[in-house]
Amino acid sequence: MMPDKVKVAAVQASPIFMSKEATIDKACRLIREAGRQGARLIVFPECFISGYPAAWTLGLDSEIVAWEKTHILVQDSALSIPSIDCDRLCGAAREVNAYVVMGCNELDNRAGSHTLYNTLLFIDSRGNILGKHRKVMPTYTERLYHGLGDGSDLKVYATDVGRLGGLICYEHHMPLIKAVLMMQGEQIHVAAWPGHWRNGRPGESGTLAGQDINACDITPATREYAVEAQCFVVSANLVLAMEQIPDDFPFKKYMGYVGEGQGDYVSLCCGGSHVVAPSSEFLAGPVFGVETIVYADCDFRLIKLAKIVIDVMGHYQRWDVARLELMREQPWNPFTSRTCEFPNNIVLQKLENIAEQVEAINKTIEKDSRYGDSLSGISKNKRKKMV
């Protein structure tokens, strides 16, 4: 069921650097603030809990001892799903009757695992966890911290604010991954990013973009997604304030920054949050270099108008020419036992097949007996063939 209109909020804020408890406190305050303004969907940036770990440069010349300590710090400030920490976020969402999509460093809850994932957590307006999405391919230096998602969580959720899905950062440059969500009929798409940056050209810095929207690939990606899917896109971008980073953090010296608005922000994380209509027009933003909440009213009649021209799930699709195959809908499990090789349904099927064969033999015997043949009249070879 398509709603008439939904107010959405893209939170552009700085986490309390590498502090899970304090960042969740801040997130709950921001959820309540956006909820009081009438937002039914509240979106947070990539790795809001508790900081984007690829914001500092790490290469082969890194200080290995410092890197090890930093990695443990990221683990300790990451979110496990589900957990008591999640319960706090769920409680805030329930309190304001709003859906929340939270970007986080997720610590795997599989026993014995300490792998981190770049994750979106989806919470419904009743405070229940709808699901999560792990970024399928960490980008560039993110691979030093984040594991690979398996794609089993590429889902669109049917909610009372529309069909809701989301991707993280450079997943918006993966055509087949985007198509998996589009083919599920998204109406509101969440695009989570670490912040605005300059793509860079040969021989120049690839970080500082400031307010030049033509220097970064974020806004072209979100606007094109809106047109391709005929949906609204809510893009939440991180700002990371330099003053939030302790002076004794070993990699602070590598973090370029830009002075914008009210303070100095890490150059990879200087905002740019916005909301895009299905026509690719900006409904709000982009906003740079300031902590704020970007609001927009999404009028779903705009989806109907877009579908007149391009309907990716209807007349503007050629499934007879090309179709998309999702390789696996279930998550991978590293542990299996031999008993798993023959599930109950397979054993039952084998027994049913044997029963059918026995029934066929009995019918043949009965038929032969009618014409004066007996069981002894059926040759040994004939019985073998029957079985």
Give the integer Cα–Cα distance in Å for 194 and 44: 10
Q: Quick check: pTM over 0.85?
A: no
In CATH terms, the fold of domain 5-309 is Nitrilase/N-carbamoyl-D-aminoacid amidohydrolase (3.60.110)
How do the pLDDT tens digits run along the chain, 387 residues long?
A: 678 999 999 999 999 989 999 999 999 999 999 999 999 999 999 999 998 887 776 554 566 777 788 888 899 999 999 999 999 999 999 999 999 999 999 999 888 889 999 999 999 999 999 999 999 999 888 888 899 998 889 999 999 999 999 999 999 999 999 999 999 999 999 999 998 776 665 555 545 555 667 778 899 999 999 999 999 999 999 988 888 888 888 777 777 665 544 457 777 788 999 999 999 999 998 998 889 999 999 999 999 999 999 998 889 888 888 888 777 666 666 666 555 544 555 556 667 778 778 787 777 777 666 555 444 444 555 545 544
Distance in Å from the first CA to the final CA of the chain:
54
Q: How many residues does the chain have?
A: 387
Half-sphere exposure of 200 (CA within 13 A, CB side): 10
Is-contact 136 166, C-beta < 8 A?
no
For residue 375, the model assigns a pLDDT of 46
Give the integer Cα–Cα distance in Å for 223 and 276: 6
3 state DSSP class of 157 = strand
DSSP sequence for 340-384: GGS-HHHHHHHHHHHHHHHHHHHHHHHHHHHTT--GGGS-HHHHH
The H-or-E segment that residue 237 falls in is strand 232-237
Is-contact 145 115, C-beta < 8 A?
no
DSSP sequence for 90-133: HHHHHHHT-EEEEEEEEEP-STT---EEEEEEEE-TTS-EEEEE
Which of the residues are catalytic? Answer: 46, 135, 169
Q: Which residues contact 228 (CB under 8 A, 6 or more apart)?
A: 178, 182, 310, 312
> Would residue 326 be called left, alpha or beta, if left means φ above 0 and alpha means ψ between -120 and 50 degrees?
beta
